[in-house]
Structure 1
Amino acid sequence: MRFALLLVFFMLLPSVFSWPSITEIMYAPPSDSSNEWLEIFNPGNESYDLAHCLFEGKNLTGIVPASSYLVLARDPEAFVSSYGNDVPFQSASFGRGLSNSGDTVILGCPEFTETLSYDGSLANKNDLTLERNSRGEWKENIIAGGTPGRTNSIFNIAADFKGLKITEIMPDPSGDDTAERPFGEWVELYNEGDKPIYLGGLVLFDEDDSHELYITDVNTEKMELCPGCYTTVFRNGDSDFDLSRTEDTIRLFTGYPVSENALIDHLSYSQAVEGSSFSRFPEGWFRTLPTPSSANIYTAGCDWRLRIEQSNSIFKGDELAFTVVVERVAGISQNISVKGTLEDLFGKVIKEYQPWTDAAVVNHNSKDYSPNLPDGSYQLHFWLEDLACNDINLGNNDVKTLTAVNPQYQVTESSLEIENIYLGSDEEAEWGDQFTAKINIYKGDETRTAVNIWLEDDGEKVSKTTKINLYDKYKLYPLTVPIQLEPNCNNKLPDGSYDLVVEAFGLRQEEKIKVAGVDSEVCRDYLSYVKELEKDQVKQQKDEQFSITEMPLSTSPGSRLPLKVQILNDAPHTYTVWSYVYRGSRCYSCQDNSQEREQNARKVTLKEDEVGLVDFLLPLDTSLDEGDYNVKVKIIKDDQKTAKELTGTVAVEPLLEEKDTESGLDTAASPGFSADPLQASHRLDTPGIVSYESSSSKAFGLAAFFLVLGLGLLSAVLIWRL
């Protein structure tokens, strides 16, 4: 029992016998040097008598009440004159006075000794005092004259500046940048910590270390920043601190100079807009309407983008799968609603989707689907609804793509087809001519890549051999290739029928053509002709390296114009390809001239002798008048500065009715092509897309095959019913 009582006694000792301590000192008054004083605080539950204590070697008198203060004043009259009679004080001897350049002060009592040493660098004749904070650290106070007899001004001030953030800046105000507060340039600060922060001594810099702006009570709304509070620091006529409107960095340091102080926060920005501020949000910095010393409000536009991701465009039965992705490109997070449909070739809605309804999305979200569909071709269509922000790019709020289900997809056997030979109206070639042939090559499960095309008679070649390489497996290549005939100036080769030969993957396909006639003008000086031919061949190779191989002759307003660009490559190269429709200086496939003409540019990297096919589906403006319009394709090879240009003409005609469009299809079109791609674009309302076909991308050709096949069957049924 005695042990327990003893334990309780020692546990109570700290609360009963908490000794007084020095909490504040005025060692260098600004005017009257005799107005020095020292504050003592008694945290205990009982009064403390100073009768047995010494200060500066002299006996003290007076009592410090429990949980209260007592000030030892060197000159009581001067103290009362400055602070009044409400502050409890006791006269005390300070000897010859406290040194302004540094000193050690000792308060000695029987139970404890308090020692305070200072160096004169702080609170020196600036009407401020040295105060002790809650962590026992001595700092310069923040209230003129000090706080004798009451809680110290820095007692609960944060020890560091981790919670201090730059949250808004005004680099280009309306009017004079150097105007006095509340005008001119300014910087907003925010305390996200849980303790007040005193801003005295902190310095703002622009990107130049010599361009400083001291934070003072003259240019700042408040010097003590409470938790969760804002304040604004104004330039207020400062001559060197200057925020550039084009590009700059603003930095907050613990003091001056930069080399001797710590960086608290910083921000780099560019392209300021007059009257608009840059505001900080969890998602980043954005231009907004200014809100100095208050919470930032997002007022600028946003950009949300939808994507449909698929591993391929054609699937076998239940392998069909796709992912819908919504992502924030610009702006702050929003609640998002997305809807979608899956349609067949005739626009009938097979399935409806609603991935998100008023769902919070910070950066991006995705949802997977695996519909079980019968064989056929389909269109996936998803769109954003009811965005709360002003989306600055509506073009990526709506996305459509074609997909197909085919159990025989990825047939392993390769095939060759010579679809057409372009010889002119007389259906024959002349010796020395160069003609082109349209060839469809399907590459199945085949590792060989080489394709050779030439003209021969009983195994004897009568033309140059056109050589290309095809790298993708399970892909249909619709190609247009040139063939150069021998000049036959010595009439060694007879006129007659010759075989156009295509060899690839161990397969051979032949087609007869007629060759007759030698151009006497060409062969009059054969040697000169050979030289000219070599020059022409080099030029032709350059000219025919790029070609528009497919494009309809006519289209209509608001539809999609399909075209295919072919690149016959000689050595490893990278090409940049883009296309557009124009007349005069106006682009009519640039969403009412709101987009750049290069907006659909794609990079195409090809190996030696590889063929590149780039498909464009250009969205035409609804405002097109009837008449002829120009189609331009531009191609830049590697790092060349000048673009190669291909041009064509398309006629814009009134939009056909849907029933006429469907019934007007040519069901005998070759596999892989629509007889009238324009009509298909009317029916499916497919958005502008670019599809690059090469060894580094997946084929889309078979999807077009099943599209045409389905349309052909439909036309046949309609004709049979009629």
Structure 2
Amino acid sequence: MKRFIFLLFLIYFSQFTLADITINELMYNPADSDNNKEFIELYHDEWTNLSNYTIGDESSNDSLQLIYFYNSSYSLIVEEDFNYSEINASVYSAGKTIGNNLNDDDNITVYYPNGTVIDYLSYSSSWGGENNGYSLEKKYPYNNNMEENWAESIYVNGTPGRINSRYINESEEIEIDYSALTINEFLADPEGDDDAAMPYGEWVEIYNQENYSIDLEGLMLTDSADSHELYVTDTNTEGTTIKPNGYLVVYRNGEGDFSLNNEGLEEVKLYDKEGNLIEAISYSDSKEGSSWAIVNDNWQQTMPTPNEDNIDSSEVNSSNFTISEVYDLGSDDKAKFGQIIRVKTEIYKGDSAKNSIQLWVEDEKGNRISKESKTNIYTRYADYSLTLPIQLIPNCDYNFEDDNYTIVMEGLDKTDTKAIRIDGITSSLCEFVEVEKDIEGKIFEYELIEAPSQISAGEEFKIKLKLINNDKEIHKIDVWSYVYRGSISYSGEREENKKNIVLPKTDSVVVELENLVKDAQPGDYKLKVRIRKDSQKTVKELTTDIKIAEKANETIKLMSCNEILLSEGINSSLEKSVISGDMLLKSIKEPKIVYESANIKVEKLIPLFIIALLTIFCVVLIQRR
């Protein structure tokens, strides 16, 4: 029955909220043995259930468990087997010891269950109470925790659960020296709304240079307009007490009056409770996402570090990233054309106004063989771990060989690369592409319609290429061809015979390209035709085999016109008078074939033409007679 009543008390009193909790008395080094005698007294306006709150020293933390209830403004935190039979206070157990035993010089912190600091005390044996049976008592409960507000108790064993023997009333409040407080850092232009709820939006960080805690509640911040006030309260801080050599961040937290300008000259000022100016800082032109912080006695814009040591901007301003891993490769660490691969990246964005990151895959000439993946990152001074997909082209027309390629990552004025091997194509995807082409038709088609399979060195040859435009737009096409073997072109510069073609919409043209291999060893070679559409980076190619034949060993002699005509069975007596003196090249190996110029052919027809005219003239004369 008693257990049931006790549980009812817990349920009922756990509904109370605590307006203020403060460390009020401390027995840290009792006379003789410390066992079972150490305690910490907390003072509060009204009782609340402190179960699952946390008490800690420099070494460890303990969760509080209620072992005795008494409805008063005092709560006692004790060790195991502590004798609380005559104490009028609620009692909480911290376990076998409080922390790791309270030492002569130690720090004590009380936390809410969510980890928020309620109160903090840093004490020293020089304050009193060292191994003499007396406790340390706070003179005024809701004042600061500096040495001047603490004293050794008048009574042996202290005053647990009772008013402190050293208590002084509010009219005798200790005057606090706030000169040790400085404005250490502030964020005037956050990313997002300036008046966003804490921990976002504008904020000002205060630093305590002293070796004791100070309660900042009631202190005031203003901007350049002194009427724009922001008071330090527990609604815009994570506790109003600032630790020795510690930081306290005061957030704007929706306050519409106080506002730090982003452009032009502005001030931020800190005042004590009496309205005395503690410190004022002037600045101008803030960068979004960067705080103003004092580093090595100089103010600079750098990465925000609320409640932490300030960082020099030179250490954090530069962005960087790396390609850390590539997923979806086969067991042989190779990808296939048409595949989607995933690329894991580690990114740090410093003080950069640029947001875009792009990834793609390219060959050694910079031709892209994938679609571009793109993402944006906006928050400055932040680390990102992103995995992005890249779609490789199907390569169904085999324009690209199985080879080593490069993943390129670019953005934030940085570039990183990683090698990747691509072998083979995704056959199912190419089947789909072919079906899709059959249904929709190709917008641009090309075909090599005429090309020799064998040529001779020193002889010019021609090829014909048909270009078909099924699009309703005009396209500009560059075409050229060359004969090569290995990495060497044997028909001169590779683009020596380049032609620029304007391809009309829904029309086709036949392009003739002339090539000349001046000198090359007989054997097998390749003829390559390259086609670039609308100045695109990717060039289409057609490749076919071509053979360079050996030259025949021929004996060439000079012959007169009469000898040539006689060999052809033509009467030389007539032709001597017409074509005398002309010399032609005639092959002894092939005597029936005459290689002659167009002029020679015309001259051979002149005698026949004259004979015909004379015949007609004679016939006319005979008829007239």
The interval holding the TM-score normalised by the smaller chain is: under 0.3
Q: Report the TM-score when normalising by structure 1.
A: 0.24
Look at both structures and tell me which one has the larger radius of gyration over its CA atoms: 2
